[in-house]
Amino acid sequence: MSPPTATLAIMEFSRFTTGTAAEASALAAAAEGRSDAVVPTCPEWTVADLVHHVAMVYEHKTLCMRTGAPPQPWPPADEGDPVTRLRIALGDLLAEFTGREPTDPTYTWYDPDQTVGFWMRRMAHETTIHRVDAQLAAGIPVTPVDAALAEDGIDEFLDVCAVWGAGRRPERLASAAADATGEAVALVTPGRRRLVTVTPEAMVIAESDAPATATVTGDASALYRWVWRRHDPETVTVEGDTAAVTRLHDVFAAFSQ
């Protein structure tokens, strides 16, 4: 899989920031007038909770870049109209990105990449996934994710959230993958085949044509939503050992939000 600094091989960093802006606009549109609706993919949240969360994430990253450290105390209280807060926080975040280069140093929670570019990428995917949540809560059609953004998002989830997260929290992996036996599951999009192998001790990702116990196939948008557990079952095709796919999906759940 690609290291963080290789993101430019897939997308220009400017596309992450424009993507964040577009996805935030769609999120706000879905949320307007629906503050009390329950978010089916995050059932402990209402739409107001969801929008406050995204706004708080923007505020946090803006302060991380301004100060070079995680803000303390944190988090602030959820106050005011959530959509208004989101729009203000988005403006501050994008202004901070505009004044910086992707290679500029900053604090991030991801030890291997302490650059502004990490936040540019992370905020694009944070916003996109929660835009999907908002549209699902609103009961409106879910807009497909841009194919290039989705492919990058699959890589980000696997590299950062899953593999790095599992290495950082081995006890969580051991619990989530207690029944895993090292079977390989292939995640296939047009032009890509990612082989995921999981045991209670490790998770390994490889671009490979090696045999797989099971295969999950879909376009980039569908598979992006699948790894984040926001998918429509009809948009992906599962072949082979369905139990292995279920086990992998359960492991992914342990390292996602």
pLDDT(50) > 50: yes
pLDDT(130) > 80: yes
Closest to 198 in 3D by CA, of 143, 249, 137? 249
Q: Do residue 83 and residue 128 come from a single domain?
A: yes
Spatial CB neighbours of 18, under 8 Å, sequence gap ≥ 6: none
Q: Do residue 124 and residue 161 come from a single domain?
A: no
Q: Per-residue confidence at 73, pLDDT binned at 50, 70, 90?
A: confident
pLDDT(172) > 70: yes
Q: Looking at residue 89, which CATH number applies to its domain? A: 1.20.120.450
Distance, CA of 215 to chain centre: 21
Q: Do residue 153 and residue 242 come from a single domain?
A: yes
Mean pLDDT of the chain: 94
**For the residues 166-186, what does the mean pLDDT come to?**
95
Q: Do residue 164 and residue 44 come from a single domain?
A: no
Of 123, 143, 163, which residue constitutes the final position of a domain?
143
Q: Do residue 164 and residue 223 come from a single domain?
A: yes
Of 80, 111, 143, which residue constitutes the final position of a domain?
143
pLDDT(3) > 50: no
Given this model, what pLDDT does residue 11 score?
65
Q: Do residue 238 and residue 176 come from a single domain?
A: yes
Q: Do residue 129 and residue 178 come from a single domain?
A: no
pLDDT(85) > 70: yes
Q: Looking at residue 157, which CATH number applies to its domain? A: 3.30.1050.10
**For the residues 210-226, what does the mean pLDDT come to?**
97
Residue with tokens 């944190």: 74
Of 94, 110, 143, which residue constitutes the final position of a domain?
143
Which range of 67-76, 121-130, 226-235 scores highest in mean pLDDT? It is 121-130
Counting the structural domains of the chain, the total is: 2
Q: Do residue 15 and residue 117 come from a single domain?
A: yes
pLDDT(109) > 70: yes
Domain that holds residue 172: 149-254
Which tokens is 35 given? 């503050």
Q: Determine the residue type at 104.
A: D
Q: Do residue 172 and residue 128 come from a single domain?
A: no
**Which element (helix H / strand E) includes 35?**
none
Q: Do residue 216 and residue 112 come from a single domain?
A: no
Q: Do residue 113 and residue 156 come from a single domain?
A: no
Determine contact, residues 124/198, Cβ cutoff 8 Å.
Answer: no
Q: Do residue 224 and residue 199 come from a single domain?
A: yes
Determine contact, residues 219/204, Cβ cutoff 8 Å.
Answer: no
**pLDDT tens for each residue of 54-69:** 999 999 999 999 999 9
C-alpha distances (whole Å) from 153 to each of 149, 157, 169, 218 are 6, 6, 21, 14
